[in-house]
Amino acid sequence: MITALVLSVISSRAVAIGSSEFPVERLQPTMSVSTASNLTPLEVKKISAGAVAGGATPHSVKFPTISLTAQTRAGKDVFRLGEGWRIPMATMVVPLGYVRATGGDAMTEVLARGQVLMGETSAKVRGTQVGDVLTLRDRKFWMHPFTVGAIVADEFVDWGDLLMSSSAAASLGEMPVAQIAITDIDSPASVLAGLKRHGITIGTVYRLRTSWDRENPDGTLGTATTKKLLGEFSYRPTVGSSILVANSWTSSNIAWKMHYTDIKLGNNCHQIVATAIQGALTEIKNAGLSRFVDTRNSNRYGGCFVGRYNRLAGNFGAPSRHAWGMAIDINTDTNPQGGVPQMNCSVVRIFRKWGFAWGGNFWPADGMHFEYVGERRDQLGYPSRYCPNRAPLLAMTLPQFGTTTSVPASTTTTSTTMPATSTTVSVSSTTSTTSTTTTTAPIT
């Protein structure tokens, strides 16, 4: 059982050892390039060369989920887990040059000491204070102590739990590169041109994300936000990709053998999520759309709570969002992962209304998957490839390039057109299928 003592209230602004105040948002705009899986060494080389050719600076970024098994303060345990139990910590691993460009010198100095930065949401969930020591586990489950050097705005941990330097993370073992982040951008168009000259064309294989992207209705929650919303659990691996989630969490949060009315689905889901599912199913029935939910298939092959790793995860993999009981799969035979989604778009928009992101616009597409985010997503104008909302594209704020300021300057562009059914690439509208509220590719 986990005993986490909340002993302090974390300030909304980060303060490091030595009272150095950090920025609450990036000091400059960024771009990133990734694929549906981790990047190969050749892809890292080509994307980096393309960024340099475009007059910008590339940085290799990794997103492992690292196991936390103990936390101490002034030599005394805040908590300690044994017998293979661990807490998943979504971690962003970056070179110091990226941190200096986006967070400044003071933030860089903390990481240069081998310490870690923790996001403010994660710190509030855990009751963490600056100076606490975390016991993190490497790929062989050996122990490594890391001191929390500062609590920072969630943006700097990509809405996950921790940020650490590439050199500090090396002690934990080899980790794949998930994306190339790009800073020092004078012109996004020049960066895209440089990438293209090196064989990197944004589209079906390579995805571009920018710090100025519109909010994506199908963007998922970062791990720290998920913990805040649904609770943090410990787990331990069992066989294959399966995990055992602590009974102390499941017994308090999972609604077992839930049977919904109006449309006859049944599953085990998080109690909060089950309420939203019922609301969506009732509205689907009232709209005359029940025939678009295949209950026979969904009850046999779908589901909600499943204790397993993300099926796209490798070493340092994350527990699936199904392990939180926050994702429901329906109509699995016509919506396989990687296939063209066949879900009825009216059903999709109703689920968005009831607080779900839809996996049909994940990368790769996962049309069977609806993932709880706890807020309405049907009113966001966005150029989704599949089932765009019936909402206009509203004003979009573009940053000023070629400068670094503590409060980024910006300009605004406005579009009143409806979202297109396919995505095009420009400097102001990208093929991103994940909002800035998610740490990595969607964890399904």
Residue among 249, 250, 248, 268 at smallest CA distance from 260: 268
Q: 395-424: per-residue pLDDT in tens? A: 777 888 886 554 444 443 333 333 333 333
H runs (alpha helix) in 198-265: 223-230, 247-253
Map out the domains of the chain with their CATH numbers: 31-210 (no CATH), 223-372 (3.30.1380)
Q: Answer for the pair 26, 211: CB distance below 8 angstroms, yes or no.
A: yes
Structure tokens at 126: 């855990």
Structure tokens at 223: 């791990």
369 SS3 class: strand
The predicted pLDDT at position 317 comes to 86
The predicted pLDDT at position 27 comes to 96
Tell me the pTM: 0.87
pLDDT tens over the chain, length 444 residues: 333 332 333 333 344 443 357 999 999 999 999 999 999 999 999 999 999 999 999 999 999 999 999 999 999 999 999 999 999 999 999 999 999 999 999 999 999 999 999 999 999 999 999 999 999 999 999 999 999 999 999 999 999 999 999 999 999 999 999 999 999 999 999 999 999 999 999 998 999 999 999 999 999 999 999 999 999 999 999 999 999 999 999 999 999 999 999 999 999 999 999 999 999 999 999 999 999 999 999 999 999 999 999 866 666 889 999 999 999 999 999 999 999 999 999 999 999 999 999 999 999 999 999 999 999 999 999 999 999 999 999 877 788 888 655 444 444 333 333 333 333 333 433 333 333 344 334 555
Token look-up 């990047």 returns 39
H runs (alpha helix) in 288-442: 295-301, 345-353
The predicted pLDDT at position 204 comes to 84
Q: Which residues contact 61 (CB under 8 A, 6 or more apart)?
A: 32, 92, 93, 94, 98, 177, 178, 179, 180, 181
Residue among 130, 147, 164, 195 at smallest CA distance from 61: 164
